[in-house]
A and B are shown apart, each in its own frame.
Chain A
Amino acid sequence: MKDFIIPDRDFGTPAAKSKQMVTLTIDGFDITVPEGTSIMRAAAEIGISVPKLCATDSVDAFGSCRLCLVEIEGRNGTPASCTTPVAPGLKVHTQNAKLKQLRRGVMELYISDHPLDCLTCSANGDCELQDMAGAVGLRDVRYEAIETHFKTKNTSGEANPHYIPRDDSNPYFSYDPQKCIVCSRCVRACEEVQGTFALTIEGRGFDSRVSFGARDDNALASDCVSCGACVAACPTATLQEKSIIEIGTPERSVITTCAYCGVGCSFKAEMRGDELVRMVPYKHGKANRGHSCVKGRFAYGYASHKDRILNPMIRDSINDPWQEVSWDEAMSFTAARMQGIIEKHGRHSVGVITSSRCTNEEAYLVQKLTRAVFMNNNTDTCARVCHSPTGYGLGQTLGTSAGTQDFDSVEETDVVIVIGANPTEGHPVFASRLKKRLRKGAKLIVIDPRRTDMVKSPHIKAEHHLALTPGTNVAIVTALAHTIVTEGLFDEAFIRDRCDWDEFQDYAEFASQPQNSPEAVQLLTGVKAEDVRAAARLYALGGNGSIYYGLGVTEHSQGSTTVLGIANLAMMTGNIGRPGVGVNPLRGQNNVQGSCDMGSFPHELPGYRHVKGEAVRDIFEKIWGVKIDDEPGLRIPNMLDAAVDGTFKGLYCQGEDILQSDPDTKHVAAGLAAMDCVIVHDLFLNETANYAHVFLPGSTFLEKDGTFTNAERRINRVRKVMAPRNGYADWEITQMLANAMGAGWTYTHPAQIMNEIAMTTPSFAGVTYELLEEKGSVQWPCNEKSPDGTPLMHVDGFVRGKGKFINTEYVATDEKTGPRFPLLLTTGRILSQYNVGAQTRRTANVVWHDEDVLEIHPHDAETRGIKEGDWVRLASRSGDTSLRATLTDRVNPGVVYTTFHHPDTQANVITTDYSDWATNCPEYKVTAVQISPSNGPSEWQTDYNAQATRSRRIAAAE
């Protein structure tokens, strides 16, 4: 474990971005800073901390506390240094007799209305009010306040009307108004950093109080999304993590990376001994810039949840109870079973699924296990069910599947298209950064069947919301291209320079065809032609145009085609290769980018190189000392088909719950049940484990070293802050299994695995743990050509050479509505829960979302006799389930929506096995369904739960 001294000073006000430099003198020292810098920040840069309370560098200066007063030669008065910008030649004094006296007077007033219970206060040792009282030399408080906000009773024993009791409604932090100094840092953090506007200052003067919206709202009932920005900003014990109240202050912190979504926020894991006290977003994290969401900030309790399995378990048949065994026994049992299968059914009868939640190093080892030990290419990863079409589509058009920008790029965008993504729920920290840019004037186009919070929420509103019918993305994207081509809005110079002009001509001819016009597709998409045209004009002509997209694009039978269409749009408008533009897939899982990079796909070795390439195989054959199969392996759905067919018998599944997350649950269950050896390597007995013969307990991201790669290709370090409770890091467990099968691997630290990755994979050639220590993080490609990594792709030319336009013919999905199934179901996520919920359901996040509900338009509900909160039966051609309904006009009539975070709901019993034509990515986003009133759980749900309960039995130790 490594202890870090963190350069994490608060400079008081945000950094100025001007290139114009200004020189001034502060306390006799010359300092040169960018124009627009505050005097406070300039002083901080030379190490002078001007006393302050209401200023912090995460929000704009406010100038309310009057503690940071300074004197400037030749100017009257004592201006606040936080709100006074630098000017050339200023001579500033931060400390003299007059300033000292003024500051003491200010502090005296503050303290007169603050309880003096510092010793027992939860912020003791971590309180800026306490620090400032010391800094200004406060020795006496001369005022006896008659009215206070903190005394529960007045001198006559009557209740104090100004006293507000502590609000403990939020599970993770408390709001204690008696400690509040009304500096507004929380209110400003909620507005400026998070963009939710849940907090406000109510009342005036002495009556001013921080309030969660309306007077009778508490933190939980308000709009608060529990991102923790206010808690981080609060200088006192007013807004404080409950874990600090319970445990005390931390004694050290370790920089690491969040294990939830693909934004990949950097956090400080603040520790006392080996107890995690709190997770605080790291200011210098380049993905999150000091911000966080409720999951990364607070929802880490699953790591110590009682459901966590800590010992390996085996069983002969899935009908038997589990037997706890030693690691040695588990490994010899597993190796013998897998070897038995290979001997009997051949080396192609087994395979692996790598985890997009585990580290790069772990994913690399798992694919190496199948390629070098099982001797086949049967490896896949959960990207199959999310962004595999991105890999195909962007690979074909631009030459690499990678997102083109870094997240900082959003600060320079002018027009944003968000298509099939719901960033406020799925990628909340990116959403906050996007909303910040929108509040400063960028324009937004949302293409989504549902009215998400991006369409309209406090202080943001999309110019255009194209609320299309699910399944018609290709028609809309091609109609946008039609408008751009036929109205001559394309960037001819860019296309001539960077793409093949003749190819563009072919594409233009295709896009111009009348059947691709907004008017022609209006009936299919349900979107008015003039809205499509207006959106196209805005994107093409509005300045820097960027596209951010998610699984609403990829999880369709034409997912790959939509990705091609998106790349076409960016290329024809010249929106590639500079800050503020680009094509940005928002990746779902923390390391889905990394697991793809690491060769998890069955046709590609690490670095996206096809297994048919002899030169590429040669690199690995030399290092691994084996012959690598030159044929592509099975993808997840193909593995399951082959299992049902009887030719696929053994699977090692690391950190992935295919039974819950993959479509058509009955088919997945049948595939798993047909196998002779299913090895589940996970934290919990997940749904897939119901069909497993071996359970290998996993370690959490807090318990191991490694790297995650986020959606902007940024390789971030994951650092071990405590010993693995299960005994081993996941990479060690994979190595044990490989060695039990004779591999002879000898890794002793993930850094050695990264060295092997760098040695074999050109885009990682320059990556070492030493470099990551030095730089904090790098974005691949990182090699001789770009030793510091690559924030922006395709700057001087496309990775593939010339950008390629590819025709995007709309083919309607075969999943069609009809008399029996007249509604379209689409699926999505919610902020507080993460994917299948294995982690977040085991935290207090369930207070926000404890079951999946079905959103249905009031018209559709009325014709079916369904009222708010009713149980409804949701049936498709694949199966049926029951859940509660909520009535909302967020969805159009004809469309229903639900999330898939809870196994009881079994939303994937409903989804079909239709999939993307190019990648077999399942069509989660369109299922024809019928809704009817119901009394409760369906027969399938009851049977399923009975099987799950039976399967999770663990035999008592003898």
Chain B
Amino acid sequence: MSHDGTHHSGPHAKLIYMANQISKFMESKPTAEGIELFASHINDFWEPRMRRHLFEVIDAGGAGLRPLALDAARLIKRPAAQTV
């Protein structure tokens, strides 16, 4: 969200925000189920470019991501290397 000063800039800021939104919904479920559903949601709906940006955040320590989103990272499918 460009108008929210607490976020990062560029494509990452929006993805962190979106991931946290999904995370908040999943947090009302039992932890294991929430983590699993978070990951499958991302795998099912996020295009590889978006997942690649998400992994850039995760690989840099995941600053800004809610804990459930970070915990789910191991279940998220890493996109194949960029192809042209």
Contact = CB atoms under 8 A, between A and B. Distances in A.
Contacts of B59: none
A807 B48 CA distance: 29
B84 interface: yes
B22 A918 contact: yes
B52 to A, nearest CB: 10
A877 B29 contact: no
B29 A917 contact: no
A808 B26 CA distance: 10
A612 B44 contact: yes
Contacts of B84: 345-346
Interface string B28-58: 1100000000000101111111100000000
B22 A809 contact: no
**Residue among B18, B45, B79, B82 with the highest chain A CB neighbour number at 10 A:** B45
Interface stretch (A494-502, A638-646, A707-715): A638-646
Interface stretch (A407-415, A547-555, A580-588, A628-636): A628-636
B27 interface: yes
B1 interface: yes
Nearest to A919: B45
Contacts of B27: 809
Nearest to B19: A917
A355 interface: no
A560 to B, nearest CB: 8
Interface string B51-81: 0000000000000000000000000000100
A162 B48 CA distance: 76
Contact of A632 (B4, B14, B29, B47): B47
A913 B47 contact: no
A878 interface: yes
A645 B50 CA distance: 11
B76 to A, nearest CB: 13
Nearest to A642: B49
A348 B45 contact: no
A510 interface: yes
Contacts of B10: 645
A641 B15 CA distance: 10
Contacts of B50: 634, 638
A634 B47 contact: yes
Nearest to A346: B84
A632 B46 contact: yes
Contacts of B28: 510, 807-809
A561 B25 CA distance: 8
B21 interface: yes
Interface in A606-629: 610, 612
B25 A811 contact: yes
A811 B26 CA distance: 11
A610 B44 contact: yes
A914 B1 contact: yes
Given A346-B84, A809-B28, A913-B1, A641 B11 contact: yes
Interface string A801-822: 0000001110100100000000
A878 B44 contact: no
A654 interface: no
Contacts of B1: 814, 912-914
B11 A632 contact: no
A603 B45 contact: yes
A568 interface: no
A918 B44 contact: no
B24 interface: yes
Indicate the size class of the contact surface on chain B.
Answer: 20 to 34
B81 to A, nearest CB: 12
Given A917-B24, A917-B25, A631 B11 contact: no
B84 to A, nearest CB: 4
A920 interface: yes
Contacts of A789: none
A152 interface: no
A557 B21 contact: yes
A642 B24 CA distance: 25
B49 A632 contact: no
A915 B20 CA distance: 12
A783 interface: no
A647 interface: yes
Nearest to B14: A641
A262 interface: no
B59 to A, nearest CB: 18
B45 A807 contact: no
B50 to A, nearest CB: 6
B47 A602 contact: yes
Contacts of A635: 45, 47
B11 A645 contact: yes
B48 A631 contact: yes
A615 B28 CA distance: 34
Contacts of B4: 814
Contacts of A348: 47-49
Interface in A914-928: 914-915, 917-920
A915 B79 CA distance: 24
**Residue among A510, A631, A919, A920 with the highest chain B CB neighbour number at 10 A:** A631
Interface in A525-550: none
A378 B4 CA distance: 29
A631 B1 CA distance: 26
Contacts of B48: 348, 631
A332 B1 CA distance: 40
A561 B48 CA distance: 25
B11 A633 contact: no
Contacts of A915: 18
A563 to B, nearest CB: 12
Contact of B18 (A603, A877, A912, A920): A920
Contacts of A631: 47-48, 79
B24 A811 contact: yes
Nearest to A664: B2
B24 A634 contact: no
Contacts of A647: 49
Contacts of A378: 47
Contacts of B3: 877-878, 912
Interface string A427-453: 000000000000000000000000000
A635 B18 CA distance: 13
A371 to B, nearest CB: 14
A808 B27 CA distance: 11
A635 B47 CA distance: 8
Contact of A917 (B2, B21, B46): B21
14 contacts: A377-B47, A510-B28, A603-B45, A631-B47, A634-B49, A635-B45, A641-B14, A645-B10, A647-B49, A814-B4, A912-B3, A913-B2, A914-B1, A920-B18
7 smallest CB-CB distances across A and B, nearest first, come from A809-B28, A917-B21, A346-B84, A877-B3, A807-B28, A634-B47, A811-B24
Given A612-B43, A642-B49, A809-B25, 10 more contacts: A348-B47, A631-B48, A631-B79, A635-B45, A638-B47, A645-B11, A811-B25, A917-B18, A917-B25, A918-B22
